[in-house]
Amino acid sequence: MRTDITFASPAGLSTELLAVLALDTQTAKGPDARPAPELLTADAAVKSAAAAVLASGEFKAGANETVLLHAPAGLQAKRLLLVGLGKSSKATVHAVRTAAGTAVRYTKPRGLRELVFALPESDALPLPASARAAVEGAFVGDFDPDTYRSDRKDVSVQSFTVAAPPSADKSALEAAFREGVIIGESQNFTRSLVNEPGNVLTPTEFGKRAAAMAAEVGLQCEVHSTAKIKELKMGAFWSVSQGSEEPPALIVMRYEPEGVKDGPVLGLVGKGITFDTGGISIKPADNMEKMKYDMAGGGAMAGAMRAIALLKPRVRVLCIICASENMPDGKAQKPGDVQTAMSGKTIEIINTDAEGRLVLADGLSYARQLGATHLINAATLTGAIGVALGTVNAGAFSNNDDTYAKFNAALETSGEKFWRMPLGDEYAEMIKSDIGDIKNTGGRYGGAITAAEFLKVFAEDTPWIHLDIAGMAWIDENRPYIAKGPSGVAVRSILEWVRGYAS
Ligand code: BES
Ligand code: MN
Ligand code: ZN
């Protein structure tokens, strides 16, 4: 998708499709309720072209609601698409992001190749933030997961242009626009990784894709395998990999901006299980095919690193992705086995399907050994987080209120929804082992929390955030602004958290 920004007035733009946003301003219900939706443009010609449909009451400007007008009078555009932002209390910058996605997903299946998206003119919506969000939303909307369909039609929107008001601050908007391109493309990079089937994206292939991306954007990258994992005494990581014919990959990326020699070193750690059968504690067949997305945490870290390399915040970042299959072969670990993690802690394996915390335990220790002063990990860690929060919020846990405050601030910009979950000694009790230091499951109740408590042991005294994205990394039904399939959740929030530490 080509992207561009223009400061010309929307009425004069000749294009296949011009999209303009509208607010739902109704206070009463019913067909006679007034006033009509408010069009968020100062352009008189656009207003008059839309006046009749707005007055008709047929279009309520609900969030992501659309109405299309052909040959709009007085405009150069062949079509005018109105997209609803919802009620003014909900009409946030994030609503602009989804509205842009909706406009793109409206355009795509109709074979239209170009779209001009007029930024909303409203005091409540800062233009640079809206421009950035619109471009992000357009990339997100443009992605479809049908990579391997032979009848896949190339119906991508070829050109997406943001139209800013002629009076806007050009350089601020252009900078925001460029950020949006980088972030939108990075989120889609993550989604394309997560979308790959397990037979294509093995741990080795994950390493190759990360290395290729790193070379492209100028990150340092090393990809290690079995020998290094054993040399580092990553007994928890290796215990998961030992049951697979596919060798694991320990992917290490570094972003070291020139001249930044002190200050924090942020450690990003991702769960990269390229397929999770459950191991000897094997999963039921129903929905097992979904477990190709069990590397979505690692995928999110790769996407965030891509965006970091291109946006160049002044803070050092290192990234560790622990990539492995979780398989039940003759060499696989068994329930009851005891493993020694890199940190020296001993782990009693109760359920081989609780493998994510095992690979992350050693990933967190290694990030600390490499000098991370702050840690963030992302993982499709537990089904229990979906039971707790549904598919609306992802789970977040932290051992440190200051670093969590930075993450919370990041959500404001990213538009992503995370809900902070509790930790506590009573939960830590639930994973004490009789034979060793800890066990890898704590039973059904509070399953997402005991998993987080497990990770917390390996974060030790380093400020740490754990993101459990199991309920949010895969979308089961199409939405107006995003296709079903991999969501790319957490990329934008991790990026903003990192930027919050830039000097
Ligand atoms: N990868 C799964 C968690 C998962 C579940 C991700 C659903 C995405 C969707 C994880 O490795 C797992 O199997 N967790 C177990 C933990 C249990 C054995 C304590 C679970 O959630 O059932
Ligand atoms: Mn599992
Ligand atoms: Zn898993």
* Cα 352 to middle of ligand 2, angstroms: 7
Whether residue 58 is predicted with pLDDT greater than 80 in this model: the reply is yes
Q: Which of 105, 357, 439, 456 is catalytic?
A: 357
Counting ligand 1 atoms within 8 A of each CB, the residue from 277, 382, 454 with the most, and so the one to mutate, is 382
- Residue 181 forms part of a structural domain: no
User: Residue with structure tokens 């460029």?
Assistant: 178
Torsional sign, CA 95, 188, 416, 177: negative
Range of the domain at 284: 186-499
Verify whether residue 357 is a known catalytic residue: yes
**Residues contacting ligand 1 via CB (< 6 Å):** 276, 294, 351, 353-356, 380, 382-384, 441, 447, 470
Say yes or no: 249 and 352 in one domain. yes
pLDDT digits (tens, 9 = 90+) for 299-323: 999 999 999 999 999 999 999 999 9
- Residue 129 forms part of a structural domain: yes
pLDDT digits (tens, 9 = 90+) for 326-338: 999 999 999 999 9
In the prediction, which pLDDT does 246 show?
Answer: 98
Say yes or no: 149 and 70 in one domain. yes
Say yes or no: 138 and 193 in one domain. no
| Average pLDDT of the residues in 205-227 | 98
Say yes or no: 68 and 199 in one domain. no
What would the 3-class secondary structure string for 32-86 be?
Answer: CCCCCCEECCCCHHHHHHHHHHHHHCCCCCCCCCEEEEECCCCCCCCEEEEEEEE
In the prediction, which pLDDT does 373 show?
Answer: 98
Strands 265-276 and 316-326: parallel
Strands 18-24 and 38-39: antiparallel
The CATH number linked to 39 is 3.40.220.10
Counting ligand 1 atoms within 8 A of each CB, the residue from 353, 359, 385 with the most, and so the one to mutate, is 353
**Integer Cα distance of 421 and 396 in angstroms:** 6
What's the pTM value of the predicted model, to 2 decimals? 0.98
Say yes or no: 295 and 384 in one domain. yes
**Integer Cα distance of 239 and 349 in angstroms:** 10
Residue of the CA atom closest to atom 22 of ligand 1: 383
Tell me which of 165, 194, 221 is where a domain ends.
Answer: 165
| Average pLDDT of the residues in 367-396 | 98
Say yes or no: 323 and 281 in one domain. yes
In the prediction, which pLDDT does 151 show?
Answer: 84
- 64-95 burial code (b ≥16 CB/10 A, e <16): bbbbebeebeebebebbbbbbbbbeeebbbbb
Say yes or no: 191 and 310 in one domain. yes
Whether residue 26 is predicted with pLDDT greater than 90 in this model: the reply is no
Confidence of residue 152 (pLDDT cuts 50, 70, 90): confident
* Cα 502 to middle of ligand 3, angstroms: 33
Tell me which of 120, 135, 165 is where a domain ends.
Answer: 165
* Cα 31 to middle of ligand 3, angstroms: 50
Q: Which of 60, 113, 228, 283 is catalytic?
A: 283
**Integer Cα distance of 157 and 76 in angstroms:** 19
Say yes or no: 234 and 358 in one domain. yes
The CATH number linked to 420 is 3.40.630.10
Say yes or no: 261 and 400 in one domain. yes
Can you tell me which atom of ligand 1 is nearest the CA of 450?
A: 19
- Residue 172 forms part of a structural domain: no
Say yes or no: 48 and 148 in one domain. yes
- Residue 177 forms part of a structural domain: no
Which stretch of DSSP H or E encloses residue 222?
Answer: strand 220-224
In the prediction, which pLDDT does 34 show?
Answer: 66
Query: Which of the residue ranges 52-61, 100-109, 151-160, 471-480 would you say has the lowest mean pLDDT?
Result: 151-160
Q: Which two three-digit tokens encode residue 176?
A: 């925001």
The DSSP code for 247 is P
Mean of all residue pLDDT scores within the chain:
97
In the prediction, which pLDDT does 28 show?
Answer: 67
Tell me which of 165, 196, 214 is where a domain ends.
Answer: 165
- Residue 392 forms part of a structural domain: yes
Say yes or no: 157 and 214 in one domain. no
Verify whether residue 444 is a known catalytic residue: no
Say yes or no: 214 and 153 in one domain. no
CA dihedral 103, 105, 110, 112 (to 10 degrees): 60
pLDDT digits (tens, 9 = 90+) for 65-90: 999 999 999 999 999 999 999 999 89
* Cα 287 to middle of ligand 2, angstroms: 13
The tally of domains found in the chain comes to 2
pLDDT digits (tens, 9 = 90+) for 188-197: 999 999 999 9
Which stretch of DSSP H or E encloses residue 376?
Answer: strand 374-379
Surface-to-core class of residue 9, CB atoms within 10 Å of its CB (0-12 exposed, 13-18 middle, 19+ buried): middle
Residue of the CA atom closest to atom 3 of ligand 1: 382
Strands 79-87 and 66-70: antiparallel
In the prediction, which pLDDT does 35 show?
Answer: 78
- Residue 152 forms part of a structural domain: yes
- Residue 483 forms part of a structural domain: yes
| Average pLDDT of the residues in 154-163 | 89
* Cα 240 to middle of ligand 2, angstroms: 10
Percentage, residues of the chain above pLDDT 90: 95
Can you tell me which atom of ligand 1 is nearest the CA of 273?
A: 1
- Residue 175 forms part of a structural domain: no
**Integer Cα distance of 210 and 205 in angstroms:** 9
pLDDT digits (tens, 9 = 90+) for 247-293: 999 999 999 999 999 999 999 999 999 999 999 999 999 999 999 99
In the prediction, which pLDDT does 245 show?
Answer: 98
Whether residue 21 is predicted with pLDDT greater than 80 in this model: the reply is yes
In the prediction, which pLDDT does 156 show?
Answer: 81
Confidence of residue 30 (pLDDT cuts 50, 70, 90): low
| Average pLDDT of the residues in 183-210 | 99
pLDDT digits (tens, 9 = 90+) for 133-150: 999 999 999 999 999 998
Query: Are 431 and 333 within 8 A, CB to CB?
Result: no
Whether residue 410 is predicted with pLDDT greater than 70 in this model: the reply is yes
